[in-house]
């Protein structure tokens, strides 16, 4: 849980300093369900949404189309509780490991946003 993170005295600022944000100040965030390993969604974070994610223990993103911060589940109730956050080797992608609440991650009603595929029916 994110509380362990706080206990380890790694501040939000420390993590955020390691991220290589794009020139637009964004980083792609891949959200994975911890228990099942299911990749639930990909969305974008800026510094503020990453800080809010760390501090609140639930996922916050940046909407590029609406140009605003949004908290996952504020409308649907299907929030994501953060268990861990990992950076990739070059610091330009974050992997958020979560416990998905409610009906799932996708606004379409599917559990994961990756429900259409080549071999899957969608």
User: Can you give the binding site for a copy of itself, defined by CB under 8 A?
Assistant: 4-5, 8, 10, 15, 18, 28, 30, 32, 36-39, 41-42, 54, 83-90, 93, 95, 106-108, 110, 113-120, 122
The least CB distance from residue 22 to a copy of itself, in Å, is: 10
Is the distance from CB of 78 to CB of 101 less than 8 angstroms?
yes
Cα torsion through 50, 51, 54, 57, rounded to 10: -90
Nearest distance from C-beta of residue 88 to a copy of itself, angstroms: 4
Which residues, including other chains, have CB under 8 Å from residue 99's CB and lie 6 or more apart?
33, 34, 35, 80, 81, 83
CB closer to a copy of itself out of 79 and 97: 97
SS3 label, residue 111: coil
CB of 50 to a copy of itself, least distance (A): 11
Of 45 and 85, nearer to a copy of itself (C-beta) is 85
Spatial contact of 47 and 25, defined as CB atoms under 8 Å apart: yes
Minimum CB distance to a copy of itself, residue 93 (Å)? 4
Residue 67 or 90 having the CB closest to a copy of itself: 90
């Amino acid at each position: 849980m994110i509380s362990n993170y706080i206990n380890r005295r790694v501040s939000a600022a420390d993590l955020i300093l390691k991220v290589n944000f794009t020139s637009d100040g964004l980083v792609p965030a891949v959200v994975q369900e911890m228990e099942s390993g299911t990749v639930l969604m990909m969305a974008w974070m800026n510094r503020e949404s990453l800080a809010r994610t760390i501090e609140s223990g639930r996922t916050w993103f940046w909407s590029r189309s609406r140009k605003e911060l949004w908290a996952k589940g504020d409308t649907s109730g299907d929030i994501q509780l953060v268990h861990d956050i990992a950076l990739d080797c070059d610091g330009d992608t974050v992997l958020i490991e979560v416990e998905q609440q409610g009906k799932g991650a996708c606004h379409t009603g599917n559990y994961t946003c990756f429900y259409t595929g080549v071999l899957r029916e969608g």
